[in-house]
Structure 1
Amino acid sequence: MPRAVTASPSDSPRSLPGLTDPRLSLESGDRLHTAAEFSAVFNHRRVLRGERFDLHYRPNEGGGARLGLVIAKKLARRAVLRNLLKRLGREAFRHARAELPAFDLVLRLAKPVASAGRATRPMARTDIDALLQRLRERAAT
């Protein structure tokens, strides 16, 4: 049975000129994957606390910042909301990555979020951006 849609690698948005900025892509090497990587960040015990999020961090040996996200079901009950918060975290990280020091970061939701309403998006993005800015300032000193 033929597939309804097939796409070659050359048709991906990343390969088409002008559609996406390659500096804003989030590759596999830019993320934390294993439980050991997350544990190493948590065990380092350095954290910046925001209104709703905590940003755990530790220096890494690699060439740039890497991101891990922890959005607990207990604090964001609906999958739509958890996915929204993860998208916002990744987007903020992509835009700030060039100015970030070589740290492993874990962005963790620390306080409950009730819904995925219109107020959630700017509140979350503002909080995440503020945490990343504080991290840049702390690393500069």
Structure 2
Amino acid sequence: MISTRFPRTARVRARSDFDRIFQQGRRVALPVLALHWQSGDAAPRLGLAVSRKVDPHAVGRNRIKRALRETFRHLRHDLAPGDYVVVARPAAARCTGAELAAALRGLLQRAGALPAPALPPTALPPTAAPGTMPAASPSAPTPDSRPG
């Protein structure tokens, strides 16, 4: 069974780590979130940056962090090893937890850290049965045969 805990060792906490990831890592962004990612050999670690510009109220900032942490916790075993820092933008304050989770998943996939979900096999759309279109009548005028 795969553990879905979020231990302290799975968090980016030191300022020097944040600085290193911001300076040397790759960046992908959406209007809601930005992801800074630096690959490494250790298990995936998450750092969060949610400033007062995003939401002036602590309860709003904490809600955003809780939703992002929970999504990362569930995806952690599928992620490429390395350090991830998610920076919330002001639009994140207006998003629900599900929207924040979808945005984080999308960023991780765009960064190449999370494999794209396998698409379920779908049936091809049914084709029209032969003879369902009415045949053109020979007496109907065509655009080329009109006088004019």
TM-score, length-normalised on structure 2?
A: 0.69
CA RMSD of aligned residues (A): 2.3
Verify: 1:84 aligned to 2:63, yes or no: yes
Counterpart for residue 35 of structure 1: 15
Instruction: Classify the secondary structure of the residue corresponding to 2:9.
Output: helix
* Structure 1: gaps of 5 or more residues: 1-20
Instruction: Classify the secondary structure of the residue corresponding to 1:23.
Output: coil
Counterpart for residue 52 of structure 1: 32
5 Å matches for 1:44-123? 44-62=24-42, 64-114=43-93, 120-123=96-99
* C-alpha distance in structure 2 between counterparts of 1:89 and 1:123, whole Å: 10
Counterpart for residue 133 of structure 1: 109
Counterpart for residue 25 of structure 1: 5
Instruction: Classify the secondary structure of the residue corresponding to 1:94.
Output: helix
- Residue type at the aligned position of 1:31: R
Shift of 1:126: 1.6
* Structure 2: gaps of 5 or more residues: 117-148
8 Å CA contact retained: 2:109, 2:115: no
TM-score, length-normalised on structure 1?
A: 0.72
- Residue type at the aligned position of 1:66: R
Instruction: Classify the secondary structure of the residue corresponding to 1:24.
Output: coil
Bigger CA radius of gyration: 2
Name the count of aligned residue pairs. 116
**1:102-139 alpha-carbon deviations (Å, 9 max, x no partner):** 11000001234455xxx522222221121122234688
> Against the structure 1 CA distance between its residues 114 and 120, is the aligned structure 2 distance closer, same or farther, given a 3 Å change threshold?
same
* C-alpha distance in structure 2 between counterparts of 1:121 and 1:50, whole Å: 16
